[in-house]
Chains A and B, each alone.
Chain A
């Protein structure tokens, strides 16, 4: 059974997309929900199978590499798969009423989103550098139209900018893969790692692939596309793009450096990449502090939060720090996924009710957006890494790793990032507590939220808090198939 689960987690959303595309959204809403729930069940089953039986391998069609396609799930893949499935289920439940309420029929949204979900799962399960290229390309090709869905000038421009940068990134990545293939004769992720030493050509290949992925994951200084693209997309699409798609790029960066290029990970290289992450943390947070609209704040926060993931590279080479830092970074990726998706969906509720997401509009909305504001507040608490959230556990582990190895600089980055995150979060939350100014006429009609929209953000955010109870099993799962140094 576990053998079938890996391909199923790729093909179920893909098939659902196909069915929806053929019979039309109007009649297929039940199919969408069924597909989403099946994918969720399959992903959770994969996580269970990996936790019990160790890494799972499946050869598509029974063809072994190098001829066939290998699907491979270790602890990291399983966790990313499960997080994607939970966020994806939330986004799916939310998107139905949201799109109906905004007057879209979802004709374009659903096939794109479902293919994107399949592609995300494919990215996490691929063990082959070329397959990964295909998946990355598909991710871009589904993400760009989602970002452009509003169809107005800002979102079209943003999507175009994203598309161009991401394609440039793909080309760099592909070039790197070609180099590596030329040198090692294999495209297999782990085999290439065994064959590729610290030679000049592997260094060039690693640099090209990393730079390409940085463009796709909006790592500073290639971040410029993210804010407009994520803040102008429809809320459910923003949630998926910020929580999942951008993270898939960084997932691959970490995968490559830990599995394929560990030999290249010298101290200066770690400092270079970690330094970019640190700049992203500070820069993204400071920008978030200055934005006038809620979705812009959340989008800039994504740039900052993704930066934390890169802090792993300077720490992972130090034995005292490696395990804690690795655990912390993965927990961060999970907690950020839940919190960020919840935050964007909450922002969507604000747009749904008020027709805009300017921060000033938060004044006095508490009475009829209370559940939404609770979700938003809890999401922000996790983003700034305060207890009792999953973000806090991640911050704790990262800090523990940094301090255990005497790396006070990286510890300082983590703490500083948390403080600025608190500043931008409480700027938003304070407005939600602020009284309505005098002479302010009630012009907006308090449009009632459908229950799915009201509760989906809260449910997603609460998953980040559930991590406080599930930390130990999650990290045990992560250790399945992890490289020697980080177990």
Chain B
């Protein structure tokens, strides 16, 4: 094989990097810890390098495409466009970081081969979702993600974990059925159609000829991805899945599952239906309303949680809907806000979950009222937490501010002024559920009789990933004007979706 051919197949190699890692790790016996760690990090690094190579290629104007005919008229299609790379790069970076964290976190638990095997498979599926070039490929990896995350959710094996696994499956497999129906209906009506920026032309013709069917199909597909994007009323699995180990929660919330759903919303609205068709069919306005409800509902529920991880979970429900909102609004600025939040929310939320896991591992802290005075005692991790929380509220210069700014502009551009009210209200609610936590961490005195645990007991490798992602969230905000910042990259995508006339 010539070097050129090898280069053309880069998407495949990057996908195989995680699949092979998963297979190797499954094959290793449970006690081969060093080898497993080596393979984990090796696989994650190789993948990151390959993604960086593709990033470089795309910046030079190259486009990658891997096609394999699976059935007559059905192809497995991996394409690398700017949107795909946004999600692929995010998952590759955060996978590496989360792997470091997970290795330290699970050092002493059983069944690590199984855990890390599915962990890698999960990232392979996420990567496949990012690079999917048509609905068939998207669905294939979307369901694979469900299958690969379930063992992680039930990993601990106690009754609560198994119950959470059942809820998780009931929601995600139900959503999968809706998605499959929609996807197959598109295939039956239009044949094998690839995603195309601004909407598939054949789909808009179909929507004109058969508006009722097209609406139903679009609604089915969006309901399917809406489950993973945790849109109200399909969000209930997300807080329940909190029983999983912290790295899994981090991965589920920031990179893999909810992001797969949100990314699916982007793909279906932008690259299947197209914003105009979605607007005419009446699907987009409904989605905007649902997203607005979800944003407020998640925040209100988060207020009432006393458990730190559950509060973060409801916060995720709310924050992911910013992405849906931005896409459903259907203008360049709103799309920009939604896309950039895909990255920003990932960075900030993963930081928060890393911190929550750190508190739980080192001090056994699970409830928010146990956090009193922890800040001065654990300044580094608490600083990371603070950055994440302030970003979620939308305080400049952390990245979250950028997202909200463009979402607000986008709402104005579309003439939906009432959404500004939603954004403001949501920001107030974010402040209302994060600031008291920060106050407890930094201002309140430490309660007497807290057991003295030297902080060194926890591996420093639980700390570094959190610091790294917190710094990334901060830099994404500070350097937003840069070409290859998340914002710069999202601008590139928006230019493709809404080409200048």
Q: Which of A396, A433, A472 contacts B151 (CB 8 A)?
A: A433
Are B166 and A472 closer than 8 Å at their CB atoms? no
Report B166-186 CB contacts with A as 1/0, cut-off 8 Å: 100100011011001100110
Are A415 and B151 closer than 8 Å at their CB atoms? no
| Minimum CB–CB distance for B217 against chain A, Å | 10
Are A472 and B72 closer than 8 Å at their CB atoms? yes
- Kindly report which residue of chain A lies nearest to residue B30, judged by CB atoms: A367
Report Cα–Cα, A388/B70, bound state, in Å. Answer: 11
| Minimum CB–CB distance for B164 against chain A, Å | 11
Known: A433-B162, A434-B157. A396 touches B177 (CB 8 A): no
Are A387 and B144 closer than 8 Å at their CB atoms? yes
B39 within 8 A of A: no
Are B184 and A399 closer than 8 Å at their CB atoms? yes
Report Cα–Cα, A344/B464, bound state, in Å. Answer: 47
Q: Which of A74-82, A187-195, A418-426 lines the interface with chain B?
A: A418-426
Report A434-478 CB contacts with B as 1/0, cut-off 8 Å: 110000000000000000000000000000000011011001000
B26 within 8 A of A: yes
Are B71 and A471 closer than 8 Å at their CB atoms? yes
Report B131-154 CB contacts with A as 1/0, cut-off 8 Å: 000001001110110110011001
B155 within 8 A of A: yes
B414 within 8 A of A: no
Are B174 and A472 closer than 8 Å at their CB atoms? no
B165 within 8 A of A: yes
Report Cα–Cα, A430/B169, bound state, in Å. Answer: 11
B33 within 8 A of A: no
Contact residues on A (Cβ < 8 Å of other chain), bracket = 20 to 34
B158 within 8 A of A: yes
Q: Which of A399, A433, A472 contacts B154 (CB 8 A)?
A: A433
Residues of B181-226 contacting chain A, CB below 8 A: 181, 184-185, 187-189
Are B111 and A366 closer than 8 Å at their CB atoms? yes
Query: Mostly helix, strand, loop or mixed at chain A's interface?
Result: helix
A393 surroundings in chain B (CB, below 8 A): 70-71
Most buried by B among A400, A468, A469: A400
Are A397 and B188 closer than 8 Å at their CB atoms? no
Are A426 and B169 closer than 8 Å at their CB atoms? yes
Report A475-487 CB contacts with B as 1/0, cut-off 8 Å: 1000000000000
Q: Which of B136, B165, B181 contacts A415 (CB 8 A)?
A: B181
B501 within 8 A of A: no
Known: A386-B143, A433-B154, A435-B157. A419 touches B177 (CB 8 A): yes
A386 surroundings in chain B (CB, below 8 A): 143-144, 146-147, 176
B367 within 8 A of A: no
Known: A419-B174, A434-B162. A388 touches B181 (CB 8 A): no
A396 surroundings in chain B (CB, below 8 A): 71, 74, 136, 180, 184
- Kindly report which residue of chain B lies nearest to residue A426, judged by CB atoms: B169
A381 within 8 A of B: yes
B492 surroundings in chain A (CB, below 8 A): none
B7 within 8 A of A: no
B114 within 8 A of A: yes
B156 within 8 A of A: yes
B139 surroundings in chain A (CB, below 8 A): 387
Are A403 and B188 closer than 8 Å at their CB atoms? yes
Are A472 and B70 closer than 8 Å at their CB atoms? yes
A359 within 8 A of B: no
Are A403 and B184 closer than 8 Å at their CB atoms? yes
16 interchain pairs, CB-CB under 8 A: A327-B71, A381-B147, A386-B146, A387-B141, A392-B140, A396-B71, A397-B71, A399-B184, A403-B181, A411-B181, A418-B177, A419-B173, A433-B165, A435-B156, A471-B74, A475-B71
Q: A386-B144, A396-B71, A396-B184 are in contact. List 12 more A-B contacts (CB 8 A).
A: A392-B140, A396-B136, A399-B180, A403-B188, A419-B174, A426-B169, A433-B155, A433-B157, A434-B157, A435-B158, A472-B70, A475-B72
Measured CB to CB, the residues of B under 8 A from A are 26, 30, 68-72, 74, 111, 113-114, 136, 139-141, 143-144, 146-147, 150-151, 154-158, 162, 165-166, 169, 173-174, 176-177, 180-181, 184-185, 187-189
